[in-house]
């Protein structure tokens, strides 16, 4: 059997349009394709591979657990799930943990819990959910409706009801929208897919205060920002406020599929036995790998290192931009950074990604106007410099093509 890009078109549903490049091996922040060509990975599987590829701690955890027990239904619990839950509780505001397989499933659980909490405590009229334009919370029908990008949710029939949106960082619009009928507010503490948009301090503080005033639960979607991405274990820890519910996935497993919803005991008690569940949630293999990832990331060395690597990437991107004038700004926090297209390159972010692949560097986009960088949290300085040198060649090509 010949395994190539053409086979994708033959056998896969056409909802993706992948590159012709098929990676077959990764080590650290470097990846090799079928032809043995090397790439430096600034994409990290969209902020998933927080420790790069094939990190020894994760490989060891997978092998060790793989020789013990792979799966149990939730009729029983298991040791890796309990260890991981205890470490999440110890490291955060939360008292209780629910495990799922993905960020969308963690968000689905959070939204269902918020609705159930409001129903039990205040009555069925308190069902409104508010989220923010350009937000992204997953692809289930509930989460994609809550996400603030209609292009992702239109075209599938009637949407879940009582979901409202307003602009991120617009506190006045949010205050006008929230009421005693609002059961929950879901927000990213730094918008990822929407363009790498950081919250203003006054905005995030105001959202927290208004949620408290109206007895609405504040849900932080930390699927992309969590597990060290911003230089704190979770981004809320650097914002000076605490959510009521937090969701985490992507980097939590370092590449192995897992998601979690964490919350307080008072809120968690409303998901009584039988109200929600997941066949694979809390899977021993996933939890063993995630425990190793969390242990490795949640150290002063790694988290401080994220901030140092951010400074280096910003320095190198600024140097590139001084020469080529392709960005209007570089924004974001930690190793969730975005180069925003200057006016003459608006809508052309993907060109930089495509040319980057040709030069041996992998990046991402966040919409049509932002080139996104989400490398490993432990990427060596040498790989950052080499990757940025390759990215500069890609920039030069795009600029030359624009001349």
Tokens describing residue 392: 């500069």
pTM score > 0.75 for this model? yes
Catalytic residue among 99, 136, 220, 373: 136
79 is in an annotated binding site: no
97 is in an annotated binding site: no
- Residue 136 designated active-site: yes
Catalytic residue among 99, 132, 142, 221: 221
Contact at 8 Å (CB) between 237 and 83?
A: no
Mean pLDDT, rounded, for 80-99: 98
Mean pLDDT, rounded, for 157-176: 96
Mean pLDDT, rounded, for 116-139: 97
| pLDDT range class, residue 119, cuts 50, 70, 90 | very high
Tokens describing residue 361: 């560097």
pLDDT at 270: 98
Sequence-separated (6 or more) residues with CB below 8 Å from residue 21 = 33, 37, 39, 357
Mean pLDDT, rounded, for 195-216: 97
Sequence-separated (6 or more) residues with CB below 8 Å from residue 122 = 183, 215
- For residue 131, pLDDT over 80 is answered with yes
Mean pLDDT, rounded, for 165-185: 98
Contact at 8 Å (CB) between 78 and 282?
A: yes
279 is in an annotated binding site: yes
Radius of gyration for the chain, computed over Cα atoms and rounded to the nearest angstrom: 21
pLDDT in tens, 12-71: 999 999 999 999 999 999 999 999 999 999 999 999 999 999 999 999 999 999 999 999
29 is in an annotated binding site: no
- Residue 141 designated active-site: no
Q: Tell which CATH architecture fits domain 57-297.
A: 3-Layer(aba) Sandwich (3.40)
Separation between Cα atoms, residue 163 and residue 177, nearest integer Å: 11
pLDDT at 36: 97
Q: 101-105, 150-154, 339-343 — which is least confidently predicted?
A: 150-154
The vertex-227 CA angle with 249 and 341, nearest 5°, equals 85
Q: What are the φ and ψ backbone dihedral angles of 350, each rounded to 5 degrees?
A: -65, -25
Sign of the Cα pseudo-torsion (376, 374, 328, 398, in order) = positive
pLDDT at 363: 98
- For residue 223, pLDDT over 80 is answered with yes
- Residue 159 designated active-site: no
- For residue 403, pLDDT over 80 is answered with no
Contact at 8 Å (CB) between 387 and 380?
A: no
| pLDDT range class, residue 148, cuts 50, 70, 90 | confident
- For residue 356, pLDDT over 90 is answered with yes
103 is in an annotated binding site: yes
Catalytic residue among 126, 134, 250, 309: 250
Residue spans of the domains in the chain: they are: 5-54+300-402, 57-297
CATH number for 5-54+300-402 (one of 3.90.1150.10, 3.10.310.30, 1.50.10.20, 1.10.4160.10): it is 3.90.1150.10
* Nearest partner of 225 among 194, 188, 186, judged by Cα: 188
């Amino acid at each position: 059997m010949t395994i190539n890009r053409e086979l994708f078109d033959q056998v896969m549903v056409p909802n993706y349009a992948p590159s012709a490049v098929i990676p077959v091996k990764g080590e650290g922040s470097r990846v090799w394709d079928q032809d043995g060509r090397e790439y430096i990975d600034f994409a990290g599987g969209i902020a998933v591979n927080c420790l790069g590829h094939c990190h020894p701690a994760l490989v060891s955890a997978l092998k060790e657990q793989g020789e013990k027990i792979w799966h149990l239904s939730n009729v029983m619990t298991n040791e890796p799930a309990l260890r991981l839950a205890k470490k999440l509780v110890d490291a955060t505001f939360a008292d209780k943990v629910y495990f799922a397989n993905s960020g969308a499933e963690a968000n689905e659980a959070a939204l269902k819990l918020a609705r159930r909490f409001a129903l039990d405590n205040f009555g069925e009229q308190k069902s409104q959910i508010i989220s923010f334009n350009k937000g992204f919370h997953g692809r289930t029908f509930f989460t994609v409706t809550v996400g603030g990008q209609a292009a992702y949710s239109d075209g599938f029939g009637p949407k879940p009801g009582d979901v409202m949106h307003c602009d991120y960082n617009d506190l006045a619009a949010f205050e006008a929208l929230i009421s005693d009928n609002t059961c929950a507010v879901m927000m990213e503490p730094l918008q990822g897919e929407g363009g790498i948009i950081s919250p203003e301090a006054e905005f995030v503080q105001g959202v927290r205060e208004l949620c408290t005033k109206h007895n609405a639960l504040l849900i932080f979607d930390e699927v992309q920002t969590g597990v060290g991405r911003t230089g704190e274990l979770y981004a809320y820890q650097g914002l000076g406020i605490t959510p009521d519910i937090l969701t985490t996935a992507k980097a939590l497993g370092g590449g192995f599929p897992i998601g979690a919803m964490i919350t307080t005991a008072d809120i968690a008690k409303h998901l009584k036995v039988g109200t929600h569940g997941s066949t694979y949630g809390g899977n021993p293999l996933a939890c063993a790998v995630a425990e190793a990832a969390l242990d490795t990331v949640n150290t002063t060395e790694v988290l401080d290192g994220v901030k140092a690597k951010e400074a280096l990437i910003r320095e190198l991107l600024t140097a590139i931009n001084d020469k080529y004038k392709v960005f209007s700004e570089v924004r974001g926090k930690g190793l969730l950074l975005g180069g925003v297209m200057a006016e003459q390159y608006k809508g052309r972010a993907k060109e930089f990604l495509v040319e980057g692949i040709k030069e041996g560097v992998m990046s991402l986009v966040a919409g049509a106007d932002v080139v996104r960088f989400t490398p490993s949290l432990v990427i060596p300085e040498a790989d950052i410099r080499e990757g940025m040198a390759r990215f500069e060649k890609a920039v030069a090509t795009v600029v030359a093509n624009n001349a």
